[in-house]
Amino acid sequence: MPESSRPTGTPAGRRLWLRRGVVLGATLAVVTGAVALTGAAYLWPLSLFPLVLAAVFFFELGSLAVTGWLGLCFVNLFAFGETPTPAAIREAVIGTALFGLAGLLLGHIQRDHARAQASLSASSLCDRLTGLYNYGTFVDYLHNEVTKCDRYGGDLTLLMLDLDHFKRFNDVHGHEAGNDLLRQVGTALRGMVREADLAARYGGEEFAVLIRGDESRGCELAERLRHAVADLTVSVRGGHEAGVTVSVGVASYPGAADDEAALVERADAALYASKHRGRNRVTIATRSGAREGAVELSA
């Protein structure tokens, strides 16, 4: 998958950096107070580095674990060293509590930051309407998977899907009904595709599904998707229900294509053949036939 773009130039990104600055300043202030109160300037700063690491990578739980470890260190120091005075014990307790507070604060903000980053990353990778991956993510994923096939072997199969007469559906029932239908299609595709595979909105009413496996598995999945879309309906004007069908083209790599561009072209050609032959059907692109890349209607 491609790396998510850095959000620093957006309002959300600027807010994230502002919050991180506030947390850093608050943490430094608390640490300074701990050092001043304990008088153990030669020991407490050494604990800042593991505390920050724990809070950043393990959030509140990590900071509590490091704080507990820190408190045990000072208990052992007093237990095996000189006889502790009440003032020394008080300094250790206050210092440990302040470090724990700083760690909890940093861990909590870091957790919120991680969630916000994940949300921003998802928004840059996914189509907002359907929740599927977007075209850019699909292109990057296709390139990576073809490279893996070239290096390690195996098969890839690409399914190109296009909703039949979707423009007519929008003209008759309205674009909001069309958007509802696209959302349902996205939900159906997500529910029927494995985590190892990828479903994307290729553009408009066209979708792409890239799976690991040969064309037989791709054809089987395409038929299930075709039936699933045919069963979808949305509420339209007048209290009625309406839906559409879908045409599918299937092509495999390296079985029917020599590279990623050819794979898309073959799958798209098979999709066009499904449209030409009456829609609401699956067509497989193969190398057999009158010419290379000829299409054959699936059984």
pLDDT digits (tens), the chain, 299 positions: 433 333 334 444 555 556 655 655 565 555 555 555 544 444 555 566 666 777 777 777 777 777 776 666 665 555 545 666 677 667 667 766 777 777 777 777 778 777 776 665 555 788 989 999 999 999 999 999 999 999 999 999 999 999 999 999 999 999 999 999 999 999 999 999 998 899 999 999 999 999 999 989 999 999 999 999 999 999 998 889 999 999 999 999 999 999 999 999 999 999 999 999 999 999 999 875 323 334 444 43
266 token code pair: 């073959």
Contact assessment for residue 232 and residue 185, using Cβ atoms and an 8 Å cutoff: yes
- Give me the domain span that covers residue 13: 7-125
CB 15 within 8 A of CB 7: no
Model confidence pTM above 0.75 = no
Instruction: Note whether 140 and 255 are same-domain residues.
Output: yes
Q: Are 155 and 214 in contact (CB under 8 A)?
A: yes
Of the candidates 66, 125, 54, the residue with the CA atom closest to the CA atom of residue 96? 66
Q: Which of 91, 145, 205, 206 is catalytic?
A: 205
Taking the chain, what is the end-to-end CA distance rounded to the nearest angstrom?
Answer: 35
Please give the radius of gyration of the chain, using alpha carbons only, rounded to the nearest integer: 29
- Indicate if 46 and 189 belong to the same structural domain: no
Long-range contacts of 46-52 (CB under 8 A, 24+ apart): 47/99, 48/99, 51/99, 51/102, 51/103, 51/106, 52/27, 52/106
Spatial distance between the Cα atoms of 147 and 165, rounded to a whole number of angstroms:
36
**CB neighbours of 291 closer than 8 A, spacing ≥ 6?**
none
Of the three residues 107, 125, 143, the one that is the final residue of a domain is 125
Residue 130 domain flag: no
Is residue 160 located within the same domain as residue 256? yes
Q: What is the CATH number of the domain that holds 187?
A: 3.30.70.270
Catalytic residue flag (residue 205): yes
Split into its structural domains, the chain has a count of 2
- The verdict on residue 2 lying in a domain is no
Peptide bond into 254 cis (omega under 30): yes
Residues 109 and 143 in one domain: no
Residue 249 lies in a domain: yes
Rounded CA-CA distance 180/130 in Å is 9
